[in-house]
């Protein structure tokens, strides 16, 4: 389990087996699985950024509904599907089928503890298609369970324009969004003197333009074709204050999702 710098009342890893079973067998119980990656994030952010953020948002959302929903958050899945980052160094990636199998095994064994539902909380765009697929495969193998999954930063879609200062392309990989969250949660791991502003320049009009501005078209490129530093966006516009607001509002959005998963699971 990666250290998050947070103590949490909903952490699976700190519970005894009896406590886990007691939570799992409660009506409407939900297990939350953060899914991240270990991949380069330019010169100013650590390679664990996606894992740290998915884990932190998962715990915040879960803590906010813990009085009403029986739930636990597992240790984060720290490696994802990141082959497009490997040439820049610092990245550890799983093969697509291995990540899918890992998530299935984690979900199946977690649900064996009596939980009625499960929610995967993803923090890396390259994992998104795997999350979509594992919801289906775990749902098929556990027909009595409510199975859901999301990518946490997409929860900001409804409010991001109230916070962002960058133009489209400024909240991509290691840009204003992720850097702000890291400045709020893990400022000691951020080196702003090494942050480079480089907006995403996607040649396809219908391709992905930003973390929160998607497109219909998927493409594959090695990451250095987009960025010499390995980061894309404008981290110079990031601040701990923005990160605090983003974190708070993301926690509220996820809390709402977890309540809904619990209701559907009852």
In a domain, 142, yes or no: yes
What integer pLDDT is reported at residue 148 of this predicted model?
98
pLDDT band at 7 (very low <50, low <70, confident <90, very high): low
pLDDT of residue 1: 40
What phi and psi, each to the nearest 5 degrees, are found at residue 90? 85, -5
Give the pairing type, strands 117-122 and 30-35.
parallel
The C-alpha atoms of residue 6 and residue 58 are separated, in whole angstroms, by: 12
In a domain, 7, yes or no: no
- What CATH code is carried by the domain that includes residue 253? 3.40.50.10310
- Per the domain annotation, does 209 fall within a domain? yes
Percent of the chain surpassing pLDDT 90: 83
Please tell me the total count of domains within the chain.
1
pLDDT in tens, 188-232: 999 999 998 888 778 888 878 888 888 888 888 788 778 888 999
> Is residue 8 assigned to a domain?
no
Mean pLDDT of the chain: 94
> Is residue 108 situated within a structural domain?
yes
Residues 6+ apart with CB under 8 A from 24: 31, 70, 72, 113, 114, 115
**What is the domain range of residue 28?**
13-265
Please state, in angstroms and rounded to a whole number, the distance separating the CA atoms of residues 215 and 27: 39
- How far is it, in rounded angstroms, from Cα 171 to Cα 245? 15
Q: Is residue 159 part of a domain?
A: yes
Tell me how crowded residue 112 is: count the other CB atoms within 10 A of its CB: 10
Q: What is the mean pLDDT of residues 34-49?
A: 97
| pLDDT band at residue 3 using 50, 70 and 90 as cut-offs | very low
- pLDDT band of residue 2 (cuts 50, 70, 90) is very low
Q: Order of strands, edge to edge, in the sheet holding 30-35?
A: 71-73, 30-35, 117-122, 146-151
CA 94 to chain centre: 16
Q: What is the mean pLDDT of residues 12-28?
A: 98
**Size of the chain, expressed as the number of residues it contains:** 266
Q: Answer yes or no: is 2 within a domain.
A: no
* Helices 49-65, 176-185: inter-axial angle, 10-degree rounding: 70
pLDDT in tens, 110-120: 999 999 999 99
The reply to whether 198 falls in a domain is yes
């Amino acid at each position: 389990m990666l250290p998050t710098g947070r103590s949490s009342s909903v952490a699976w890893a700190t519970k005894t087996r009896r406590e886990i079973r007691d939570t799992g067998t409660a009506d409407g119980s939900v297990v939350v699985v953060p899914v991240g990656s270990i991949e380069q994030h330019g010169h100013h952010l650590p390679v664990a950024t996606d894992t740290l953020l998915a884990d932190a948002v998962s715990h915040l959302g879960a803590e906010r509904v813990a009085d009403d929903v029986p739930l636990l958050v597992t240790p984060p899945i720290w490696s994802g599907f990141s082959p497009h980052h490997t040439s820049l160094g610092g990245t550890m990636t799983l093969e697509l089928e291995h990540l899918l199998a890992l998530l299935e095994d984690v979900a199946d064994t977690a649900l064996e503890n009596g939980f009625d539902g499960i929610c995967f909380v993803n923090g890396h765009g390259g994992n998104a298609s795997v999350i979509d697929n594992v919801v289906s495969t775990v749902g098929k193998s556990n027909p009595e369970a409510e199975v859901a999954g999301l990518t946490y930063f997409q929860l900001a879609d409804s409010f991001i324009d109230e916070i962002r200062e960058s133009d489209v392309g400024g909240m991509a990989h290691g840009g204003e969004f992720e850097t702000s969250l890291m400045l709020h949660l893990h400022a000691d791991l951020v080196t702003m003197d090494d942050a480079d502003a480089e907006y995403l320049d996607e040649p396809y009009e219908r391709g992905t333009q930003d973390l929160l501005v998607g497109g219909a078209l998927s493409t594959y490129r090695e990451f250095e074709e987009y960025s010499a530093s390995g980061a894309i966006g404008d981290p110079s516009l990031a601040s701990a204050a923005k990160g605090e607001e983003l974190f708070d509002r993301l926690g509220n959005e996820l809390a709402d999702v977890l309540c809904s998963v619990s209701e559907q699971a009852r």
